Structure 1
């Protein structure tokens, strides 16, 4: 994959996360604050916990840091997959954000 292809897919993933936060805030009382700085999004929850999602351009990966730990995702067949267990980025983000928010939250991959 070229660097440009990586950036196109990675930016689409970050945009999907930002859009999901807007929907979550409109449709629930979870109050997830998302702040983007360059290739990094910080999600802050009411209990002051955070999830950080950031691009790792040299490795062509997306990294996610949550209370549950740190995870590295690489694009495989159009999906961001954990480099250790193959799980999908948006499924993991939904799980970890739900745990930290104390209620079910859903993040979906860009279509």
Structure 2
């Protein structure tokens, strides 16, 4: 299997796992950026996805928002770490584009 393909598949699985864990979590706040004041990842597709998810999470009741926020923050942190390399950015571009393409099924896009 090609390394790029393996990285994309692994990234997609990681994102799915984070969202599954987030549904079980009861702590955290949506929109908080524990990694610093700059919420951007540095990959346009990821930044757009985060913007849409922040808007979606902001409209949820507190209990539902806090249940998802910890996993969403973990995903942001993982994406920010992956974006530190050119190969990571390339992989994230595909992963985040796929997430954007399916956001309507998981969250009403704003």
TM norm structure 2: 0.36
Structure holding more strand per residue: 1
Q: Which has the higher contact order (CA 8 A, sep 6+)?
A: 2
